[in-house]
């Protein structure tokens, strides 16, 4: 019988969560005991959801797969577009390869899958133009008849994109699809805990309550395979894309650049397109770009930043490329724990975040996007299934290693042999 693979991404799941909260995750912990835990997984830089999820599907660093940030470099927009569309991925994906080899595929809010070839797809996308609305843009980006059917059945569970309701909706859609379609590859992206960590802090009660909800959702998905008789032939991978770090202060480098005359404000507070120097936030880090006609020396830009409060390191272009981030960036700036970056150009260079700010755009108590070598910042992954070693632990791996491993689990013949990562052969019996 054809092996099936279900990949469940619990956004912002950290390696440390497995150690701290065993009693909160009975379903996941059961899989760990019966399968293989890859204890600490080093992420990619920047450690953001969209670049990370594309790495999970390609085995490539952002510089090679093309998704170098969550959002695009659009200085003149207060709300820049995200990298929603699959067409922007520059290399083959696990799901495209699976479909080309005759396997059926399903995806539920997996980042950067809008308008992809996935058979049953509910894309992660939201309207970012005044002439768009959620219904129309979702239908266009997803599998339209499939999405309409799921909304008719389970739309009552959701309240827009609010959590925990959105993940309840996605879980119901996943269970239904496993029972009725039995795809060979199912990708599920659950965001409840990530949202709570942003709003309340990394180890807040709200975040840990969300971790418990994710474990309960995992149980429902596993039960669906038992109910349709495919459990014994199904491989499960439960993973994180990145962890988070508590923060309290924003750094708005574009406010500094405007003050120095390296860019200019529009009336709405965004930056005119004719900038010379522009900071594009990745939350815990930020890219610095110079335009082709930039008259400011790189060393001057670096010196204007490096001694600021909250700055941990400034990377040069060669270092950025070696780390696998955007090769077109001039500099990349890493924040110290407790600080994060914001694209905004108005107001002061530093801004404290208060409880009253939470819910406003870009105001958080926990973020990601930091360098993957930050202490205790690893994510994790659990493999379980008919060909996986039982009660086995692999101490360390890299996020780039997971896609080649998925390809082996699905027995894909045409997935690229040469990726930035390597198959985790030690998970197999």
Q: Which domains does the chain carry?
A: 4-243+374-427 (3.40.720.10), 246-367 (3.30.1360)
Query: Which pLDDT does position 1 carry in this prediction?
Result: 54
- The residue-averaged pLDDT of 405-429 equals 98
DSSP annotation string for 182-199? --SEEEEEE-HHHHHHHH
- Structural contact between residues 285 and 335, judged by C-beta atoms closer than 8 angstroms: yes
Mean pLDDT, the chain, whole residue set: 97
Query: Which pLDDT does position 134 carry in this prediction?
Result: 81
Task: Note the pLDDT tens digit of each residue in 161-195.
Answer: 899 999 999 999 999 999 999 999 999 999 999 99
Query: Which pLDDT does position 358 carry in this prediction?
Result: 95
Q: Is the pLDDT assigned to residue 402 strictly greater than 90?
A: yes
Q: What are phi and psi of 251, to 5 degrees?
A: -115, 120
3-state DSSP assignment of residue 328: coil
DSSP annotation string for 102-124? T--EEEES-TT-BT-S-SEEE--
pLDDT-derived band at 132, boundaries 50, 70, 90: confident
Q: Is the pLDDT assigned to residue 13 strictly greater than 60?
A: yes
| Sign of the CA dihedral with 127 first, then 361, 359, and 124 last | positive
Query: Which pLDDT does position 88 carry in this prediction?
Result: 98
Task: Note the pLDDT tens digit of each residue in 199-229.
Answer: 999 999 999 999 999 999 999 999 999 999 9
pLDDT-derived band at 129, boundaries 50, 70, 90: confident
Which residues fall within 8 angstroms of residue 164, CB to CB, at 6 or more apart? Answer: 192, 210, 213
Task: Note the pLDDT tens digit of each residue in 369-380.
Answer: 999 999 999 999
Which residues fall within 8 angstroms of residue 381, CB to CB, at 6 or more apart? Answer: 37, 38, 41, 237, 238, 239, 240, 397, 402
- The residue-averaged pLDDT of 19-34 equals 97
- Of residues 57 and 131, more confidence is placed in 57
Question: Exposed (0-12), middle (13-18) or buried (19+): which is 237, by Cβ within 10 Å?
Answer: buried
Question: Exposed (0-12), middle (13-18) or buried (19+): which is 219, by Cβ within 10 Å?
Answer: middle
Q: Which pTM value belongs to this model?
A: 0.97
Question: Exposed (0-12), middle (13-18) or buried (19+): which is 119, by Cβ within 10 Å?
Answer: buried
DSSP annotation string for 392-413? EEEEEEEGGGHHHHHHHHTT-S
């Amino acid at each position: 019988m054809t092996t099936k693979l279900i990949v469940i991404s619990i956004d912002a799941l950290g390696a440390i969560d497995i150690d701290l909260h065993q009693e909160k995750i009975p379903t996941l912990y059961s899989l760990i005991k019966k399968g293989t835990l890859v204890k600490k997984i080093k992420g990619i830089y920047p450690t953001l959801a969209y670049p990370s999820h594309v790495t999970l599907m390609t085995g490539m660093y952002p510089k090679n797969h093309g998704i170098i940030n969550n959002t695009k470099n659009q200085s003149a927009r207060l709300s820049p577009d995200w990298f929603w569309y699959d067409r922007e991925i520059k290399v083959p994906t696990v799901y495209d390869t699976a479909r080309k080899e005759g396997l059926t595929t399903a995806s539920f809010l997996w980042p950067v899958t809008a308008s992809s070839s996935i058979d049953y797809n509910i894309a992660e996308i939201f309207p970012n133009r005044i002439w768009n609305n959620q219904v129309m843009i979702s239908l266009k980006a997803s599998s339209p008849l499939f999405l309409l059917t799921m909304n008719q059945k389970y739309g009552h569970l959701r309240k827009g994109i609010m959590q925990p309701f959105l993940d309840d909706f996605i879980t119901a859609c996943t269970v239904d699809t496993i029972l009725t379609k039995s795809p060979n590859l199912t990708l599920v992206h659950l965001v409840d805990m990530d949202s709570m960590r942003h709003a309340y802090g990394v180890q807040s009660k709200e975040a840990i309550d969300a971790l418990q909800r994710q474990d309960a959702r995992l149980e429902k998905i596993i039960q669906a395979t038992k109910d349709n008789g495919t459990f014994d032939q199904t491989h499960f991978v439960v993973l994180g894309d990145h962890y988070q770090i508590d923060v309290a202060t924003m750094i708005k480098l574009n406010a500094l650049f405007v003050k120095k005359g390296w860019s200019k404000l529009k009336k709405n507070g965004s930056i005119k397109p004719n900038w010379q120097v522009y900071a594009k936030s990745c939350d815990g880090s930020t890219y610095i770009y110079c335009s082709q006609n930039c008259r400011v020396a790189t060393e001057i830009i670096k010196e204007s930043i490096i001694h600021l409060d909250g700055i941990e390191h400034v990377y040069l272009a060669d270092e950025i490329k070696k780390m696998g981030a955007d090769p077109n960036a001039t500099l990349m700036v890493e924040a110290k724990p407790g600080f994060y970056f914001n694209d905004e150009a108005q107001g002061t260079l530093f801004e404290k975040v208060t409880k009253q700010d939470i819910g406003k755009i870009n105001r958080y108590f926990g973020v990601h996007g930091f360098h993957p070598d930050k202490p205790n910042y690893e994510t994790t992954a659990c493999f379980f299934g008919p060909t996986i070693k039982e009660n086995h632990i692999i101490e360390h791996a890299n996020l780039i290693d997971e896609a080649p491993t998925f390809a082996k689990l699905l027995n894909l013949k045409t997935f690229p042999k040469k990726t930035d990562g390597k198959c985790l052969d030690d998970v197999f019996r």
